[in-house]
Amino acid sequence: MCSSGHYCPQGTRRSTQYPCPAGTYSTRLGNGRVEDCAACPAGAFCTRGTSKPVLCPVGTYCMEHGAKVAADCVLCPGGYYCPELGTVTPRTCGAGNFSGLPAKPCPSGTYSEQKGLSSAEECLLCPAGKYCYRAGMEPLGIPHPTGDCPPGYDCPPGTGFPFSFPCAPGFFWDNSSAEGEDRCKPCPAGSYCDSPAMSEPKACPAGFHCGEGSSKPEPCPEGTYSNKKGLSGPSECSPCGRGFCCASPGQTGPSGPCQAGFYCKGRALTPLPTDGVTENVSPWGILPTWVPLIYPLSSRNLQQQEWVEKPLSVLGLPTQSKEAEKA
């Protein structure tokens, strides 16, 4: 009996003596005429003696019947894709995809609303303030920006993963920024931003000052203090008052009064000052302005005030009554 892919007219000696011509095929046995060989279907090619058409490979297509060799399968054109064996008609690339084997999605950070792209270069860059990202392994296209940049993050043009660019310490996310403008703004004066991706600055604490763009509070220097929040610079720290000292940085109030026998002009650093600028030893040593001294007096009926002052005068020290000192 005549073999498939062949035909056997009268007088044939072998079952494979007469193969079906190129561009035709036959799955049947016992064909007696060449007309019994059918034309090769679209999407395939048939060489001489074919019993089963060979499908065009992925990435190619063939719209005509009667293809004879593999070269008759045409490469898929730009803007289209041929995802299957035996493709007859190329498919238009969907929005957010470009042609390939199979169609490939626009890369992260890009998108496209148009169909029929032929290369990744035709995908549009994601605009500022937006991100264009596809999660997972599915080759889904990106036909439009995926969404707005999340709070605490900046999305410059071409952003893919939305959490790629957090606002750095010293900056915060400003929701009032204009469309497309950089949303990471310097932390305002009087506040600080100590961690990435902050959307709300923190108020500068009492005893400290915070200039614009601060990532941490700076203490008021020695000799000053502040009991208020939100200072923007060291000049806003209050100087330690006369008669008091501020011994360490970052104070919310004076450390305490100057010790007896010393005086503090202002901005004093210690209760026992000796620098002669902000403070010094009292010119009368460590004696107060009046003290009860035992000293022989010529009269015993003197008032206590006179009894005190006369010995000090004798010692050559200035005198001051208790009432005057209290005043």
* Whether residue 17 is found in the same domain as residue 80: yes
Asked whether residue 183 is assigned to any structural domain, the reply reads no
3-state secondary structure of 15: coil
3-state secondary structure of 36: helix
Residue 88 and residue 211: Cα distance in Å, rounded? 69
Residue 254 and residue 246: Cα distance in Å, rounded? 5
Residue 302 and residue 293: Cα distance in Å, rounded? 14
* Whether residue 29 is found in the same domain as residue 98: no
Residue 220 and residue 203: Cα distance in Å, rounded? 15
* pLDDT on residue 203: 96
Domain end residue (candidates: 102, 135, 165): 165
Asked whether residue 245 is assigned to any structural domain, the reply reads no
* Whether residue 2 is found in the same domain as residue 87: yes
* pLDDT on residue 318: 42
Phi/psi class of residue 170: alpha, beta or left (left: φ > 0; alpha: ψ in -120 to 50)? left
Phi and psi at residue 34, in whole multiples of 5°? -65, -30
Cβ pair 1, 32 in contact under 8 A: no
* Whether residue 82 is found in the same domain as residue 122: no
* pLDDT on residue 254: 92
Domain end residue (candidates: 62, 91, 120): 91
| Mean pLDDT in order along the chain per 10 residues (327 residues) | 87 88 89 89 91 89 89 80 84 58 75 79 88 68 87 90 90 79 89 93 96 95 94 94 90 89 81 62 40 40 37 40 42
Residue 219 and residue 215: Cα distance in Å, rounded? 13
* pLDDT on residue 60: 86
3-state secondary structure of 289: coil
Residue 250 and residue 254: Cα distance in Å, rounded? 11
Count CA atoms within 13 Å of residue 122 on its CB side: 19
* pLDDT on residue 276: 58
* pLDDT on residue 286: 37
Phi and psi at residue 102, in whole multiples of 5°? -80, -160
* pLDDT on residue 74: 85
Residue 108 and residue 113: Cα distance in Å, rounded? 15
3-state secondary structure of 259: coil
Domain count, the chain: 3
3-state secondary structure of 186: strand
How many other C-beta atoms are found inside a 10 Å radius of the C-beta of residue 110? 21
Residue 165 and residue 173: Cα distance in Å, rounded? 11
